[in-house]
Structure 1
């Protein structure tokens, strides 16, 4: 099990790593060593609570496949190990963001002072605009 938050654990069996050849840094190694990492998280096997899974699916966006897998790629580094660590860190950050429930906004009434300030500003604007008009009558 992989610890994501204090209360949320991720089943390792839901993860699958694949290594492919990467573009980018590496010199001649790029053409012969598979350093890029494709990390797949199967959401059905991950064991996430339904609200967290729903938020994760929304946050994943294009990284969510039709099979219900989140696909994270990393090819920034020259070694498999660093790319693996980077991909895992990116996945954990994504799940941690999904684990935070949004705070419900409580609608409040505007204060008496804010109503007065709004009306004063409206009256001030009206006086400014009234003073602009005129054309022929002003001369």
Structure 2
């Protein structure tokens, strides 16, 4: 079991890994060894996800969600298969944690109080007087 949050844990059987050839650094090795990882997780059929988290995860996934309901996470940052596997799993966990956070209520717009307006204007007057004293003495 992979613990994502206190209430959500994924079974390793729900994850499928495919190894593909990665682009980028690696010299001759990059053309021979399949180090990049495609991690697939079926969001629609997973019994581990509560329904509100599932809906937010579908919205967050965007283009990474395949038509079959698979969330595809690709990791090809590192030169070794093991590090890419760990990176892909970490990306998936982070995405699920973000979906598990309940949405914040929208901010209600408020007006500044009269006293705060006066404080702001007083500060501006003081700053203006400091700057006017910096000038050359006027002709009297």
Smaller-chain TM-score bracket? 0.7 to 0.9
Matched positions, count: 117
Alpha-carbon deviations, 1:82-128, whole Å to 9, x = none?
A: 000100000000000000001223747657639xx6xxxxxxxxxxx
Identify if the C-alpha distance between structure 1 residues 109 and 27 changes in structure 2 by more than 3 Å, giving closer, same or farther.
closer
Alpha-carbon deviations, 1:12-68, whole Å to 9, x = none?
A: 221000001111111111111110000000111352000001100111110001100
What is the alpha-carbon root mean square deviation over aligned residues?
2.1
TM-score if structure 2 supplies the norm length? 0.75
TM-score if structure 1 supplies the norm length? 0.75
Do the aligned partners of 1:14 and 1:46 also contact (CA within 8 Å) in 2?
no
Do the aligned partners of 2:8 and 2:48 also contact (CA within 8 Å) in 1?
no
Segments ≥4 residues shifted beyond 2 Å: 105-114
Do the aligned partners of 1:11 and 1:46 also contact (CA within 8 Å) in 2?
no
Gaps of 5+ in 2: 118-140
Higher helix share: 1
- Please say if 1:28 is aligned against 2:41: no
Gaps of 5+ in 1: 118-139
